[in-house]
Structure 1
């Protein structure tokens, strides 16, 4: 097999990463709007992807302790809420798995997705120019499109890379420098 390693490939830097195998991955903070159909409250939310003991999206939300918030968090449907996270066009159906009352006039909620997709853009006219997707726990690999990454200090590292193409799209998969540590291999 004739393998020529390129030094001109731009390494894809992970947008989100974890510190250890199966550690939660922080996904970002956004303003949040919660509703149960009758009451509405706004606060600040932090999303994270939890990988153990099972994969799930969790959003930690802090809202002011008002009478509306108390009605909202103690609704008879056992915490089912519609949540808009940042600029989401469609609310996600969430369940409140934990509610804490702070001494500073705040209520903290742990929300998990009830079911279905967590959709951010629903426009059929929107066309993707590019998309970065993280394939979690994907094993380290070596292929014919590998490249050399300069990791500094005069050290270079071979990273796996493969490209799948069609007439209208291309999918590029790259190993990240931490693959062996994060996958546990």
Structure 2
């Protein structure tokens, strides 16, 4: 049986390039992707260039551990340094936000806590799945976004264009 998972993507080093590369990689592994808009935001937790962020939904039969391993490999394939500090500039950041309605701390925290605290995760999540209910607070993502203090973090939607390619094409593109 397939599970619906939501993934946040973020980058502030050549962000358009690395978001597109990350989307190509995800597409080659999962096929059809559900995409939020792309949002630009100021760095949170450190001084750095603005980030581009979005949320992607996919259906998968991979386990949580398999997904986390895959995301780490995609990050590394896109120039992310292993062991880099948490609050730093990065080429690509992939975080598993939700795995169906599972709540767990092992092997990673789900739902990911930053859904409730970071506008750059909550706004695209509310856009992509407005009626979906957060499994711990039992409130829809749209309602969470509506009630979120928008003065906490500045972010704004930006034009972004990515065309979903077939898995064969994505593999060819990524091997160039």
TM-score, normalisation: structure 2? 0.25
More strand by share: 1
TM-score, normalisation: structure 1? 0.24
Indicate the structure (1 or 2) with the bigger Cα radius of gyration.
1
Bigger relative contact order, structure 1 or 2 (CA pairs below 8 A, ≥6 apart): 2
